[in-house]
Structure 1
Amino acid sequence: MTTQEHDASVYERVQASSEFQELKRRFRAWTFPMTAAFLAWYLLYVVLSGWARDFMAVKLLGNINVGMILGLLQFVSTFLIAWAYARHADRHLDPLADKLRHEVEERDK
């Protein structure tokens, strides 16, 4: 058996394992809904900018209007999502990924 064939069989076994499937499930369970929510939020901002100009132009504080606040909240939400993902990965993804990596490394010894 060549090294390449051995590597392929190791990775195929890992991919077929229940731990790897659980890792994929945890990743998808968080990222898919969060991505959909962020895209909906972003598209709402774009739609409001294009078709609700009077609403977006409402002044809140001096020359600061609703559109500016919603635009700045796009940046805030991006950073919050990145922080929340890092926290989710630290707690739910990384421990399982580390376990799988160590199992693969032990098989190669």
Structure 2
Amino acid sequence: MSTSEQHTPDAQGDHVWVDVQNSPDFVELRRRLRSFVFPMAGLFLAWYVAYVLLADYAHGFMSTKVVGNINVGLILGLLQFVSTFVITTLYVRHANKNLDPLAEKLRNELEGGQA
């Protein structure tokens, strides 16, 4: 396949996707997705950077023993995994409640020819 080939929209296909992309429901779907994903990604990134900076610059704090040989660094490291699972669970709930019904509506309209 050549990179110089031009894709020309057919009369029935491509314009439908553009229409759906510009529809109020699709715009709302993107808004709902972004309103969850962007803040959550920022929060997790800040938490991860804080962990890395503490590990690099706060050796004394991170090596503070909490119980036996378990120190603050180990606990915070394990909390990275816990926070990943929590974020995943929150996203699944958000998607099931706020994204999937609207996506299903859009899909039904598109497949049914009502878009």
How far did residue 7 of structure 1 move?
Answer: 1.7
TM normalised by structure 2 equals: 0.89
Q: Distance in 2 between matches of 1:70 and 1:11?
A: 45
List per-residue Cα deviations over 1:16-64 (Å, max 9, x = no partner): 1000000000000000000000000000000000000000000000000
SS in 2 for 1:104: helix
Show the counterpart of 2:48: 42
How far did residue 3 of structure 1 move?
Answer: 8.2
Number of equivalent positions:
107
1:26-105 equivalent positions in 2, closer than 5 A: 26-105=32-111
How far did residue 89 of structure 1 move?
Answer: 0.0
List per-residue Cα deviations over 1:60-95 (Å, max 9, x = no partner): 000000000000000000000001000000000000
Show the counterpart of 1:25: 31
The structure with the largest helix share of the pair is 1
Whether contact under 8 Å (2:48, 2:80) holds in the other structure is yes
RMSD: 1.5
The percentage of counterpart residues that share the same residue type is 54
Q: Distance in 2 between matches of 1:34 and 1:64?
A: 29
Report the CA distance shift for 1:62/1:22 in structure 2 as closer, same or farther (over 3 A).
same
**Structure 1: where are the runs of 5+ without partners?**
none
Whether contact under 8 Å (2:62, 2:71) holds in the other structure is yes
Q: Distance in 1 between matches of 2:65 and 2:105?
A: 53
